[in-house]
Amino acid sequence: MPGEQIVVNDQILHDYVANIFLTAGSNDREARLVARHLVDANLRGHDSHGVGSIPVYIRNLSCGDLRPNEGLSVVTETDSLAVCDGNGGYGQVMAHDAMEIGIAKARRNGVALIGLRNSHHVGRIGHWSEQCAAEGLVSIHFVNVVSDPSVAPFGGAAARVGTNPFSVGIPRAGERPLILDFATSKLAVGKVRVAMNSGKPLPEGALLTADGTPTTDASVLFGQPKGILLPFGDHKGWGLSFVCEVLGAALIGGQTQKGPKRRNSTINCMLSIIVSPDHLGTAATLSPEIDEFVAWVRSGPNADVLLPGDVEAALTEERLARGVPIDPKSWADIVAAGRQVGAEPPSRLSRTAAGVAGL
């Protein structure tokens, strides 16, 4: 039925996803880190980076472009910096462990510069901002994407880069952290996939056909020849995408996008700057200053202005209570991928019309 959704309790979904990766050959820690990251992305409303990624991961695993049970290698290290190699392993593990190194260094020295290169898809970048913010640390993340080029530079008519995301996390005393997280394209590729699977049109001005004609048909991006995404904010989004490519990859010895896709996997590199307000001597004043600024921003007719992360926080609360909605096409693809490695889906599911909660 049009608009129908599969709705799964988050813990049931987490256990199912973890079992898929366990049966696919991951050890318990890896399976649970990957599952937690993917389900958290769905809880926050970023279905583009959630469990819908499973079929692609299993495909990449099957052809050898994703390496299970890999460990992070530290290539260069000082007291306040480290460059790490993900060895083509699960990005959810590689980025988690790289952030753990950075968090420890920032706690000791006040600031840490962490480079992660040659990692399989690291998922939702806001997750890494959240990991640092949970430890009371501010973080900034520049990420590049080496895969099928999907985004044209401003003023261009051919795709040359990936969606190159950027994220910032800022802790607040007694409040949820501020989490800024966005692709430098108008839409992430995964969001276009979700729209295609759900049969929904895209916003105007986000996608072109291969010959440069504007379209709202999400399937165009995955056709032959492929469609082309545009950068957000015209030259501003393109400029930020460019520095994500250079800082996120070239500066730390990682690959930049240099041509058409050569392998199935999506490779990410990430440069993270992690700062301790305690070492800056501003831990006591940071949150009060933020609170006063927020009060000013929301004063008068601006009472309903949203802060970075507000939408995700509201969706997380709703989906924890009501379950995670997944469109039938994406769910069928996940189940097929799970069965390919020997994992059966859970039986406790609901089917609901779009916008209606299920349990």
Domain assignments of the chain as residue spans, ordered by start: 1-69+312-359, 72-183+234-280, 186-230
- Tens of pLDDT, residue by residue over 13-68, are 999 999 999 999 999 999 999 999 999 999 999 999 999 999 999 999 999 999 99
Helix (H, G, I), strand (E, B) or coil at 167: strand
DSSP state of 197: H
Amino acid letter for position 303 = A
With pLDDT > 90 as the criterion, what percentage of the chain qualifies? 90
- How many angstroms separate the Cα of 208 from the Cα of each of 75, 161, 183? 41, 15, 17
Q: Which CATH class is domain 1-69+312-359?
A: mainly alpha
Other residues' Cβ atoms within 10 Å of the Cβ of residue 314:
13
* Cis preceding linkage at 225, omega within 30: yes
Q: What is the pLDDT of residue 352?
A: 57
- Tens of pLDDT, residue by residue over 225-269, are 999 999 999 999 999 999 999 999 999 999 999 998 888 889 999
- How many angstroms separate the Cα of 206 from the Cα of each of 150, 156, 166, 341? 12, 14, 18, 36
Cβ contact 273:140 at 8 Å: yes
CATH code assigned to 72-183+234-280: 3.30.1370.60
Statement: residue 297 has pLDDT above 80: yes
Residues 121 and 123: their CA atoms lie apart, in Å, by 6
Confidence of residue 1 (pLDDT cuts 50, 70, 90): very low
Pairing assessment for the beta strands 214-215 and 73-77 based on DSSP bridges: unpaired
Q: What is the pLDDT of residue 263?
A: 81
- Tens of pLDDT, residue by residue over 80-120, are 999 999 999 999 999 999 999 999 999 999 999 999 999 99
Residues 248 and 141: their CA atoms lie apart, in Å, by 8
Residues 101 and 175: their CA atoms lie apart, in Å, by 25
Residues 161 and 167: their CA atoms lie apart, in Å, by 18
Confidence of residue 355 (pLDDT cuts 50, 70, 90): very low
Confidence of residue 347 (pLDDT cuts 50, 70, 90): confident
Burial of 156 (0-12, 13-18, 19+ CB in 10 A): middle
Domain 186-230 of CATH type 3.40.630.40: no
